[in-house]
Every structure is written in C-alpha cells, then in structure tokens.
Structure 1
C-alpha cells in the first residue's frame, strides 16, 4: 500500500504527510517542482512530480499508488477529470477528498462537481467536508494581525465553527489507514464551538498579551484596502467569498463527526493560538 498526498505545500496536505509519517505508513508527496521541494524539505519526504494542468505527469505520479489524499489545487487549465480517470486506470482503490462544508447546497463550487466525478468513477471514497480553517489566521489574516494588531476581514457578526487543519489531517490518516470502515462516507468536519471574530480577537489578545481588535470592515473598504496593499483583485474576491457565509450566519453549524471518528474532542481555537503564538509576535 502506497498513498499519494497531494496539496503537500498547503495547509492540510503537509499535516496529512506528518500524520502518515507518525503512523509509519508508506506515502509519496506530489508537488509541481520536485527540486524546489527537496531544497526546502531535504530527504524527509519522497516527492513525485504532479501538475494537474499537465496530464503527462499523471502516469508517473500514480504509478504504484493504492490510495490518494486528494485536494483541488489553485491554478488554471486543471485537468481534474482526466486525473480521476487516470487514477481509475491505474487501479487506485480509495480516494480521501478534501471538500467543503455544506457543499451539497453549492452546485456552483468546484468541490460539488469534483465529488460527483469521484462518485461516478466508482473509486471508493471518503469526503472530508471541512469548515473554516483556524490556519487562516496564519494565512491571509496573518499580516494585519502581526503588523496592525487587528483582524481585518468582512465577516460581520456571524459565528464560525473553526476547525484545525491538523484535525482534518487526522481524519484523513484514519480513513486512509482503515478504508474499509470509511468507504463512501461523508464527514462534516468542524470544531465543537462557534465563535465570531470579536471573540477570536479577544482570545488572541489574551494569549498574545496585546490588544487585538476585530474591525469588521465593509466589503468595499476591505477590497479597497487590500488592493492598495498590493493584493490581486482575484485573491481579494476569493477572501470575500470565503467569509460571505459567515456574514450571513450560515457558518456556525457544529457537527460531532470528528469526535465520533477520532474518539477525542476537536482542537479548541485557544489551543491553536497558543501553539502558534510566536508567528504573530
């Protein structure tokens, strides 16, 4: 059994690799640039070349692979359907796919189509329908927290059921290790508390011992500021879209799927902030 981990350079893929390593499960990490990955990570991982926009890379990446942790990558001209077809041809026996919470109500997003492609391929699957990542505090929210001590995002007063990417990775590892138990299952992965960004800013303030405010900008003010800061309009629009469900009050739902599968409580956001506090100081 060999597992292919896609999205290794992102939030969740790397954590999946770490969990598989802890369990001593054989895996390879798919990256666009193998040499660049080796320079950064050394010999700690085995890398294979995979570019979802270049089907010529699919065969070698899937050679000898039994299971896949699969993420939909950023980029243009992606040949995702062809990749699924190739996985079927190569005899892949299970796909754990990182999807999106409430995807079944959002036929306009990529994940909706991708889940359907995987189901139609008849490759056994596990769908991890994840909520809002705690790691976003260290991603597109990081600079404003660190430099201006503020959470600057147009999320209104809505609550979000934050989830730690490390918890998502744990579920992925469990499903990959015991595919028989988790075949054709859909897990909604959230934390066990729903918080608004005012509450998150207070926790940040407590842990960092410095005042952090949530400024709750309008969408217009957010877009204008982020573009003036040098961010691409397309990226800014994506960030606005990510927080729109929160603003509408649609992101607060809590599920116990993680606890049922992992047999423990999900990570609290305070624990996450404590673990990564040095990154904001």
Structure 2
C-alpha cells in the first residue's frame, strides 16, 4: 500500500500526510515544484512532481502508488479527466476525494463535476464532503481579526456547520486504509453545532480574552474595503461566493457521519480556537 497525497501544501492535504505518517503508511506527496517544496518544507516527506495542467507529470506521480487522496487544486487548463484515465490504467485501488457539503445541489461548481468524473472512471472512491473550515479563522479571516479585532466577512446572520480539517483528514485516511468498508461511500463531515459569526466572535472573545466582533458587512461594503486595501479582485469574489450559502441560510445543516465512522465527537470550535491560539497569534493584538 502506498498513497499519493495531492493538495499537500493546503489545509487538508498536509493533515492527511501527517495522519498517514503517524500510522507508518507509505506515501508520496504530489507538488508542482519538488525543489521548492523540499527547500521550504524539508525532507520529512517524499515528493513527486504533479501538475494537473501538465499530463506529462501524471505517470511519474502514479508510479508505485495504489491509492490517492485527491483534491481539486486551483489553476487553468486542469486535465483531471486524463489523470483519472491514467489512474485507471495504473490499477489504482481507491480514491478519497475532498468534496463540498451540499455539492449535489450545485452542478455549476467544480466539485460536482469532479465527483461525476470519478464515478465514471469506475475507480472505487470515498467522497468526503466538507463543511466550512474552522481553519479559515487563521487564514484569510485572520488579518482583520489581528489588526481590527473583527470578523469581517459578508455572511449575514446565517449559521454554518464549521468543521476542523484534522477531522476531514482523519476520515480521508480511514477510507484509504479500510477501502472495502468505505468503498463508494459519501460522508458529509461537519461539526456538531451550527453557529453564526456572532457566535464565533463571542467564543473567540471568551477563549482569547480579547474583544472580537463580527461586523456583518454587506457584499458591497466588503468588496469596497478589500478594493481599497488592494486585495485581488478574483480572490475577493471567491470569498463572497464561499459565504453566500451561509448568508442565504443554506449552510446550517449538521451531519453525524464523523461520529458514525470514528465513534468520536467532532472537534468543536471552542477547542479549535484554544488549540490554535498560538497560530492565530492573537495574544499580541491590541484592544
């Protein structure tokens, strides 16, 4: 058994690699630039060149692996159909694909199309459909939290089902190890509570002992502020799109698949904020 881990430099892929390593399962991490990855991340993991826009990298990445943790990576001219055809030819035994909660209702997004591609390949799969990442708090939301002590995102008053990426990684790894149990299954992974960003701000205030507010900007206000700050317009539009289901009240659904598979409760956001307090680096924010 050997696993190809894609999306290794992202939130979930890196955690998948950590879980695999903790279980002494052989793996190789697909990256666009092996030298750059080795220089920045060290020799802790084995790397192989993999660029989904360059089919010439596919054969080498699929050599001597029999299972894949697959993520949709940003980019143009991505050739996932060719990659999956080659994976089938290489007799890949299982794909664990990181998808999106409620994707079945969103045929216009890439995850919907990817699930169809994987199914049509006839490679056994597990779809891990994710709720809203808790890690966003110490990613693209973190700058506003640190500099202005506010959660600034156009999500309205809607609730969302936050999920910890370590929980997503755990389910993905279990599906890769126990392929027969998880063959052609779909799991929707969320936390066990739906919260709005007012709730999140209160939890952060309590845990961090710093006043954090959710200002609930309109989409127009959010875009205007980000434009003045010189942020990339395309990325700003992505952020708006990510939060639109929450704003419309469509993201609050809770599923219990994590507990059914692992026998454990999913991580709650209070624990997450406590665990990542150092990485959030909020001890030094001013009030």
TM-score tier, shorter chain, comes to: over 0.9
SS at match of 1:43: coil
CA contact (8 A) 1:99 1:129 kept: yes
1:198 maps onto 2:175 in alignment: no
Q: Report if aligned partners of 1:142, 1:280 keep a CA contact under 8 Å in 2.
A: no
TM-score (norm 1): 0.99
Structure 2 CA distance for aligned equivalents of residues 216 and 12 of structure 1:
28
Q: Are 2:273 and 1:273 equivalent residues in the alignment?
A: yes
Q: How does 1:4-153 map to 2 (within 5 A)?
A: 4-153=4-153
Q: Show structure 1 runs of 4+ deviating over 3 A.
A: none
1:234-266: CA deviation from partner (whole Å, max 9, x where unpaired): 100100000000001110100000000011000
Q: CA RMSD in A?
A: 0.7
CA distance in 1, matches of 2:186, 2:131: 13
User: What SS does the aligned partner of 1:266 have?
Assistant: coil
Q: Secondary structure at the match of 1:57?
A: helix
Q: Distance in 2 between matches of 1:75 and 1:119?
A: 22
State the SS of the aligned residue for 2:38.
helix
- CA-CA distance at 1:86 after TM superposition: 1.1
1:159–1:251 CA contact under 8 A, matched in 2: yes
Deviation, 1:42, is 1.4
Count the aligned residue pairs: 281
- Tell me the residue number matched to 2:264: 264
* 1:243 is aligned to 2:261: no
Which structure 2 residues correspond to residues 161-240 of structure 1 after superposition, within 5 A? Answer: 161-240=161-240
Corresponding residue SS for 1:99: strand
| Offset, 1:91 | 1.1
Shift of 1:280: 3.3
Q: Deviations over 1:48-98 (max 9, x none)?
A: 000011000000000111000000001111111111111111111100000
Per-residue deviation, 1:140: 1.1
| TM-score normalised according to structure 2 size | 0.97
Question: Residue in 1 aligned with 2:285?
Answer: none
The C-alpha deviation readout for 1:17-44, integer Å capped at 9, x for no partner, is 0000111111111111111111122111
What CA distance in whole angstroms lies between the structure 1 residues aligned with 2:159 and 2:217?
16
Can you give the 5+ residue segments of structure 1 that lack an aligned partner in the other structure? Answer: none
Deviation of the 1:138 alpha carbon: 1.2
Give unmatched runs, 5+ long, in structure 2. Answer: 283-287
In 1, Cα distance between equivalents of 2:65 and 2:104: 29
